[in-house]
Structure 1
Amino acid sequence: MAARRLGADEEALWARVRATVRAMPGRKVAAPATAPERLPLPAPATGMMALTTPTPPPSHARREPGQTLDGGWDRRLAGGVVAPDRTIDLHGHTLASAHAALEMGLAQAVARQDRVILLVTGKPPRPESQRPHGRGAIRASIADWLRLSAHAGSIAAVRNAHPRHGGAGALYIVLRRRR
């Protein structure tokens, strides 16, 4: 792929972007980044330029919903033996109200030191369904919502629910114990 040098206006834009970047609290300030030497030429189909700069891995990754359960927990959840401490039902919600209800429910569960939440989302649409529909949008958004939640660090694991608790239409959210 052919490359070209940055123009003066692009250099100025890159300098403005660099000037707005600040280290997160508690993080070391790295050496200032320099402008990339070359940018790829515009792709013929779209006419847009792709800026490819390598992104270093974060020195301290944000704590995301984990996969930290031991085998005993997994067996009890898979067997439907664990009784949820709280249920959050998202039936009948819009995407925005479902997100708000999930955040509020997580906040209450963390404050009460609950361990297992049953999150009822409704079953996803069947793969053989031919009609165009927006069903399953809440279920499809759950993983992102949990990952971006202010309470992501409190989540030990997310598992599919046992048929007794809703099966494919529900999830267990297991919260970490406070230490």
Structure 2
Amino acid sequence: MRRRKGLSPEDADLWARVARTAKPLNPRIPADHPQSSPLASTAPVVPAVPAPALPRFRVGQTAAVPAARLPQPQTPAERLAAADLRMDARTHRKMTQGKLRPEARLDLHGMTLAAAQPRLMQFILSCHSNGLRLVLVITGKGRGDHGPLPTRPGALRHQVPHWLHSPPLSAVVQQVGAAHFRHGGEGAYYVYLRRPA
């Protein structure tokens, strides 16, 4: 049996009575608009928007993408520089200028993440209990070539600030900053510790 298109006269009468009692969801669409009919397409009516004028493009030409649209990845040093200052501004300025000498240093260069994290925790907690304030953590800058497996270059350089801002180290670390070039530059961090209680 073939299905009939449209509503039967009884169904159309029933629909008209129901439509008169219904409150429209969008009051801006008048009741006699084609979208208000049960036979209307379910696709929304989209007003025509003129296409933006684009510059001419020739075959073989590289498309120019505005730099503002591309998110620029931040280095760990840039993220730390943008973080809130939680120490004395004068001491912080001396520290970032390399005028303060670190009292201890830890070289994680070449370690795996699994070996470096417990070593970093032990070092920081030990330095804090001994009353040291400024220590240096060397991570290395990371190599670009990691073989066939895709890995992020400088995994330690990216992970160490996260570990320093996470418990239990966050309780004893007051400020983390990128080291001055004389103390390792991008491959090292200053860690300014809180005074022991």
Q: Judge conservation of contact 1:66–1:156 (CA < 8 Å) in 2.
A: no
Structure 1 residues 153, 123: CA separation in 2 closer, same or farther (over 3 Å shift)?
same
> 1:119 maps to which residue?
137
> 1:101 maps to which residue?
119
Structure 1 residues 66, 85: CA separation in 2 closer, same or farther (over 3 Å shift)?
farther
Output the amino acid matched with 1:94. Answer: T
Q: Judge conservation of contact 1:103–1:149 (CA < 8 Å) in 2.
A: no
Q: Does 1:161 align with 2:179?
A: yes
Point out the structure with max Rg over C-alpha.
Answer: 2
Structure 1 residues 94, 168: CA separation in 2 closer, same or farther (over 3 Å shift)?
same
Work out which of the residue numbers 146, 160, 171 in structure 1 matches 2:164.
146
Deviation, structure 1 residue 134: 4.1
Q: Judge conservation of contact 2:136–2:190 (CA < 8 Å) in 1.
A: yes
TM-score (norm 2): 0.51
Equivalent residues in 2 for 1:1-179 (5 A)? 67-124=85-142, 132-179=150-197
Matches of 1:116 and 1:149 in 2, distance apart? 19
Matches of 1:84 and 1:134 in 2, distance apart? 29
Deviation, structure 1 residue 170: 0.4
Deviation, structure 1 residue 145: 1.1
Q: Judge conservation of contact 2:140–2:188 (CA < 8 Å) in 1.
A: yes
Matches of 1:66 and 1:112 in 2, distance apart? 26
Structure 1 residues 111, 66: CA separation in 2 closer, same or farther (over 3 Å shift)?
farther
Matches of 2:166 and 2:129 in 1, distance apart? 19
Which one has more relative contact order, counting CA pairs under 8 Å at least 6 apart?
1
Any gaps of 5 or more consecutive residues in structure 2?
Answer: 1-82
Deviation, structure 1 residue 73: 1.2
**C-alpha deviations, 1:96-124, integer Å up to 9, x for none?**
11101101101110110110010101114
Q: Judge conservation of contact 1:66–1:155 (CA < 8 Å) in 2.
A: no
Structure 1 segments, 4+ long, off by >2 Å, are 131-135
Deviation, structure 1 residue 83: 0.6
**C-alpha deviations, 1:52-80, integer Å up to 9, x for none?**
xxxxxxxxxxxxx9731222112211221
Matches of 2:157 and 2:95 in 1, distance apart? 20
**Structure (1 or 2) with the greater strand fraction:** 1
- Number of aligned positions between the proteins: 111
Deviates more, 1:160-169 or 1:74-83: 74-83
Matches of 2:84 and 2:102 in 1, distance apart? 19
